[in-house]
Amino acid sequence: MELFEIIERDEHEQIIFCSNKDAGLRAIIAIHNTSLGPAFGGTRMWNYGSVDEALTDVMKLSKIMTYKAAVTGLNYGGGNAVIIGNPQRENRELLFRTFGKYVNSLAGRYYTAEDVGTTVEDMEFVRMETKYVTGISKALGGSGNPAPVTAYGIFVGMKACANARWGNDSLENKKIVIQGAGQVGKNLAEYLTASGAKVFITDIYPEKIENLSKSVKAEFVPHDKIFEIDSDIFSPCALGGIINEETINKLNCEIIAGSANNQLENEEKHGRMLFEKGILYAPDYVINAGGLINVANELEGYRQDRALKQADKIYHNLSKVIEISEKENVPPCLASAKIAEERLKHIGGMKKIYTKN
Ligand code: NAD
């Protein structure tokens, strides 16, 4: 009974626990809502401290995917998977092929892709067992790394925020701080420096900064000094939970716009705190939808120009969120939830459960 209560709290449709001792596999697949179409979401591999921690994470991620697809106008549902284990583990073929068999058993109700701790190569192992996987390499007909399109979406989303806040969407001479010099951070820094912004970037690994300094004209800052910089835009592109009581008090910026999932430690409470402080927060699942757009494109025969064109719509989607937020005097995270829930209700009919005919 308790397990059903957990599922019902977030209104998930289905949770699948997958175990195979020979492959060393312990995974959970969460399918949140398929009323708009098959569930879409990555596979995260992480050293979770407990099964509860993994279950909480996968359920939070799958719910966000429902909202991301709905607000972006895609006809997909929300799902996600986690594999409990060391993301640096070697000998990954048996593990990911066994996981792929579980994905295949869902017969198209869930499509997976890479996420934190998994790679394009891992998804190619999954591909050996199922067609319900995306994010495989371009050489095999896939879309490759989604980060360039995600970064482009963040860039246009920042422009929408700039337009709402300063009356035009130019980022020239704006002081922008990027937290995380990973795949998205690097590509974003390139877009921003090319458009004349003054970019400051940090990472916990100095070698990432070293690599980046060869190609990007940005100022590099130690990661523990990031909140000491006054900026126009703060861009969280590392991990979630970065916006919390402690950091909100330190933040000195006008806009928060970045790629990390679940940036607000507590969606409602911290969204409201930012709103009351006059900081414009771009809801993460609205602005970082470029990654989902990219992998979803793979199902229709991937073309990056088409994915980038679709990512352009993030400007419009975010502008609409900000408009509702201003009109109804509610934080943008509540405005975006409203748009997503209305689409789920009207288009998805809420009760529809996707199965492949
Ligand atoms: P990544 O692992 O390539 O980069 C993240 C970087 O953040 C790493 O270099 C890491 O060292 C750094 N980092 C971690 N903690 C930090 C801290 N406290 N301070 C500074 N740097 C720190 O990941 P990515 O693909 O660039 O994704 C970044 C974020 O965006 C993740 O949260 C991811 O879930 C989210 N996201 C990514 C995509 C995508 O297409 N890659 C799509 C949607 C959302």
The string of pLDDT tens digits covering residues 42-75 is 999 999 999 999 999 999 999 999 999 999 999 9
Structure-model confidence comparison of residues 286 and 300, the more confident one: 286
Average pLDDT over residues 161-180: 97
Report the amino acid identity of residue 356.
K
Could you tell me the pLDDT band of residue 326, with boundaries at 50, 70 and 90?
A: very high
**Residue of 187, 202, 204 to test ligand 1 pocket, by largest number of atoms within 8 Å of CB:** 204
Average pLDDT over residues 303-310: 94
List, in order, residues 6 or more apart from 151 with CB less than 8 Å away.
Answer: 183, 184, 185, 186, 187, 188, 190, 191, 259, 290
Pocket of ligand 1 contains residue 202 by CB under 6 Å: yes
Separation of 22 CA from ligand 1 center, angstroms?
Answer: 32
pLDDT at 125 over 60: yes
Pocket of ligand 1 contains residue 39 by CB under 6 Å: no
Predicted confidence at residue 351, as pLDDT, reads 66
C-alpha–C-alpha distance, residues 46 and 261, integer Å: 15
Separation of 331 CA from ligand 1 center, angstroms?
Answer: 25
Separation of 84 CA from ligand 1 center, angstroms?
Answer: 19
The closest residue, in CA terms, to atom 9 on ligand 1 is 182
Separation of 338 CA from ligand 1 center, angstroms?
Answer: 27
pLDDT at 1 over 60: no
Pocket of ligand 1 contains residue 205 by CB under 6 Å: yes
Mean pLDDT for all residues in the chain: 94
pLDDT at 263 over 90: yes
Predicted confidence at residue 350, as pLDDT, reads 65
C-alpha–C-alpha distance, residues 104 and 317, integer Å: 33
Predicted confidence at residue 357, as pLDDT, reads 64
pLDDT at 116 over 90: no
User: Could you tell me the maximum CA-CA distance found in the chain, to the nearest angstrom?
Assistant: 59
Average pLDDT over residues 195-220: 92
pLDDT at 41 over 60: yes
The closest residue, in CA terms, to atom 42 on ligand 1 is 291
Pocket of ligand 1 contains residue 247 by CB under 6 Å: no
81-117 residues labelled b (16+ CB within 10 A) or e (exposed): bbbbbeeeeeebeebbbbbbbbbbebebbbbbbbbbb
Separation of 183 CA from ligand 1 center, angstroms?
Answer: 7
Tell me what percent of the residues of the chain surpass a pLDDT of 70. Answer: 99
Structure tokens, 26:
């312990």
Q: Are 291 and 150 in contact (CB under 8 A)?
A: yes
C-alpha–C-alpha distance, residues 38 and 141, integer Å: 21
pTM of the entire predicted model:
0.93
Predicted confidence at residue 156, as pLDDT, reads 98
Predicted confidence (pLDDT) per residue in 275-287, tens digit: 999 999 999 999 9
Q: In the chain, which ranges are E strands? A: 14-20, 25-33, 39-40, 43-46, 77-84, 110-111, 175-179, 198-202, 219-220, 233-236, 255-256, 280-281
Q: Ligand 1 atom closest to Cα of 259?
A: 30
Could you tell me the pLDDT band of residue 213, with boundaries at 50, 70 and 90?
A: confident
Task: Using CB atoms within 10 Å of the CB of residue 263, give its burial: 0 to 12 exposed, 13 to 18 middle, 19+ buried.
Answer: buried
Could you tell me the pLDDT band of residue 308, with boundaries at 50, 70 and 90?
A: very high
Pocket of ligand 1 contains residue 179 by CB under 6 Å: yes
Separation of 278 CA from ligand 1 center, angstroms?
Answer: 26
Inter-axis angle of helices 313-328 and 304-311, to 10 degrees? Answer: 10
Task: Using CB atoms within 10 Å of the CB of residue 351, give its burial: 0 to 12 exposed, 13 to 18 middle, 19+ buried.
Answer: exposed
The closest residue, in CA terms, to atom 25 on ligand 1 is 183
pLDDT at 112 over 60: yes
Pocket of ligand 1 contains residue 208 by CB under 6 Å: yes
Separation of 321 CA from ligand 1 center, angstroms?
Answer: 24
pLDDT at 253 over 70: yes
Predicted confidence at residue 144, as pLDDT, reads 87
Pocket of ligand 1 contains residue 116 by CB under 6 Å: yes
| HEC profile of 163-206 | HHHHCCCCCCCCEEEEECCCHHHHHHHHHHHHCCCEEEEECCCH
